[in-house]
């Protein structure tokens, strides 16, 4: 077991929920209910003097009344009650308290900020570490710890998530599940009164279960330490950072959300680039980068081959790849010569991107060309566009048949990204065969280890940042 102070946080043998309730609308109910539903492997102690039993578990009037040891406490009581809770926890030997409790410094009120500092000083006096306040706490699916019953239950993977916002954790974890991404651990840490972004980053960098680290931050408690940690991170594992509060209105929202100072976005971008971390511009790109690092082998360069889509789509694809910083190279002459030797009539006018509207009568299709591109050393990565099936004559076509047409699995081990468009549906179209085939296509691609993206622009931007990371990693290892 690691000696890092946060290690205890992820190995509790017992959890007490102070402010637990039988009222399903109460936060304390939600925390207790999630621990029960997710099968937490340790003991669960609901604490509330008004109940003798909560969700079938014996309830206790206070932490002091719990008969066994308590490793971890979730506080779902109001802010003025927290100092007394700390006193009780100190007598019980509690080491860590997660303060879901809010209305501290984020309110901007002097008396609330003063109370927050009182809580911190008491915690230091008693040797208790704090997560929060004003946060949702932990999601650790392997151990059955969750703060919400809306998160994947019993499924965990190689991505570690650090977030100041609990709502962001829910959005990210639920959105990436559709993409086949699951998490080793996720932490919502709120105001960062004690444990902060640096502590969690330092821990996940050494955590063998977390191969990729995702961070949503609104401000920094210790910027110098944060960037010192990042400088050594790229050699170990990718760290993707999404900064909230980039604009003036966002900065104001940050101040009232977690009492953080937003700081200069330009300076942040420079510092992230110098450190080798990957900066995401928005939540969509944040998710795309998680998907790309999870599924793709290292992208060694920026030379891209694109196949699929008709004439106009191919032109737009080239524009979007170039705008993202990828190099849409001319079609390699050696592939032309190979096509010519096979008697393929289009050998002299095919280009990159490869236009799906090209037809041949010899059983030769765009999938054959994509396979040839995959074997050619001039391409560092490939993007395959799956057009949306929409003609009645395509009705009954299976997802496997679409994949076989593009022969996309023949592209491996070269990095390959699939474009499967989103379908805008009205309320009357949920049974539409078109929507079903898109869903099946995405599921089939993920089963084959091939990531998909809703647009070529999003795929291209993610590819550029992933390639930059691997190129920077090589230079750091050589220096």
**Mean pLDDT of the region 169-177:** 96
Residues 263 and 201 in one domain: yes
Which has more confidence, 299 or 425?
299
Residues 432 and 332 in one domain: yes
CA distance 326 to 286: 19
**Mean pLDDT of the region 34-38:** 98
**Domains held by the chain: number:** 3
**Mean pLDDT of the region 279-296:** 97
Q: Where are the alpha helices (DSSP H) in 237-327?
A: 248-258, 265-275, 283-295, 311-324
The structure tokens listed for 126 are 């008693």
CA distance 261 to 456: 35
Residues in the chain: 479
Residues 356 and 284 in one domain: no
pLDDT at 128 over 50: yes
Q: pTM of the entire structure?
A: 0.91
Q: What values do phi and psi take at 179, rounded to 5?
A: -95, 10
**Given this model, what pLDDT does residue 177 score?**
95
CA neighbor of 162 nearest in space, from 235, 76, 85, 229: 229
Residues 93 and 178 in one domain: no
Per DSSP bridges, beta strands 239-243 and 183-188 are unpaired
Whether 448 and 411 have beta carbons less than 8 Å apart is answered as no
CATH of the domain at 329: 3.40.50.261
Please identify, among 131, 152, 167, the residue that sits at the C-terminal boundary of a domain: 131
Q: Which residue segment(s) compose the domain that 210 sits in?
A: 137-295
CATH of the domain at 78: 3.40.50.720
pLDDT at 255 over 50: no
Which has more confidence, 353 or 400?
353
pLDDT at 336 over 80: yes
CA neighbor of 33 nearest in space, from 53, 13, 54, 12: 54
Residues 202 and 272 in one domain: yes
pLDDT per residue as tens digits for the range 56-106: 999 999 999 999 999 999 999 999 999 999 999 999 999 999 999 999 999
Q: What values do phi and psi take at 159, rounded to 5?
A: -105, 130
Q: Which of 231-245, 271-285, 447-461 has the lowest mean pLDDT?
A: 231-245
**Mean pLDDT of the region 246-252:** 51
Q: What values do phi and psi take at 95, rounded to 5?
A: -100, -25
pLDDT above 90: percentage of residues in the chain: 69
CA distance 237 to 249: 33
**Given this model, what pLDDT does residue 187 score?**
98
The structure tokens listed for 213 are 């680290």
- DSSP calls for 115-132: HHHHHHHHHHHHT-EEE-
pLDDT above 70: percentage of residues in the chain: 89
CA distance 147 to 149: 7
Residues 275 and 350 in one domain: no
């Amino acid at each position: 077991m690691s000696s890092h102070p946060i290690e205890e946080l992820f190995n509790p043998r017992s959890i007490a929920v102070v402010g637990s309730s039988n009222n399903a609308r109460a936060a304390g109910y939600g925390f207790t209910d999630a621990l029960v539903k997710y099968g937490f492997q340790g003991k669960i102690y609901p604490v509330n003097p008004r109940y003798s039993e909560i969700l079938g578990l014996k309830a206790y009037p206070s932490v002091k009344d719990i008969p066994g040891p308590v490793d971890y406490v979730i506080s779902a009581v109001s802010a003025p009650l927290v100092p007394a809770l700390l006193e009780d926890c100190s007598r019980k030997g509690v080491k860590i308290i997660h303060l879901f409790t809010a209305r501290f410094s984020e309110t901007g009120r002097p008396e609330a900020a003063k109370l927050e500092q009182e809580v911190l000083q008491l915690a230091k006096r008693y040797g208790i570490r704090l997560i929060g306040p004003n946060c949702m706490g932990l999601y650790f699916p392997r151990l059955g710890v969750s703060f919400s019953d809306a998160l994947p239950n019993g499924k965990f993977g190689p991505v570690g998530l650090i977030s100041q916002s609990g709502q962001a954790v829910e959005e990210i974890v639920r959105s990436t599940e559709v993409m086949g991404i699951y998490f080793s651990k996720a932490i919502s840490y709120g105001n960062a009164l004690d444990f902060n972004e640096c502590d969690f980053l330092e821990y996940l960098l050494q955590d063998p279960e977390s191969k990729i680290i995702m961070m949503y931050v609104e401000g920094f408690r210790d910027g110098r330490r944060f960037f010192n940690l990042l400088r050594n991170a790229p050699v170990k594992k990718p760290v993707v950072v999404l900064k909230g509060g980039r604009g003036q209105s966002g900065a104001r929202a940050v101040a009232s959300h977690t009492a953080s100072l937003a700081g200069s976005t330009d300076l942040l971008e420079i510092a992230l680039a110098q450190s080798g971390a990957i900066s995401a511009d928005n939540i969509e790109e944040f998710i795309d980068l998680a998907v790309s690092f999870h599924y793709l082998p290292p992208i060694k360069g920026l030379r891209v081959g694109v196949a699929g889509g008709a004439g106009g789509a191919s032109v737009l694809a080239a524009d979007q790849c170039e705008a993202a910083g990828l190099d849409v190279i001319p079609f390699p002459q050696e592939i032309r010569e190979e096509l010519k030797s096979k008697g393929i009539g289009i050998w002299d006018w095919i280009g990159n991107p490869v236009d799906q509207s090209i037809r041949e009568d010899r059983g030769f299709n765009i999938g054959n060309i994509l396979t040839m591109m995959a074997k050619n050393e001039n391409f560092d990565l490939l993007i395959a566009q799956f057009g949306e099936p929409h003609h009645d004559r395509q009705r009954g076509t299976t997802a496997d048949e679409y994949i076989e047409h593009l022969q996309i699995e023949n592209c491996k081990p070269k990095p390959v990204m699939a474009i499967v468009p989103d379908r805008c549906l009205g309320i009357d179209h949920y049974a539409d065969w078109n929507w079903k085939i898109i869903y099946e296509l995405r599921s089939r691609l993920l089963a084959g280890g091939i990531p998909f993206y809703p647009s070529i622009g999003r795929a291209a931007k993610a590819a550029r940042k992933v390639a930059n990371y691997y190129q920077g990693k090589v230079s750091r290892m050589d220096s």
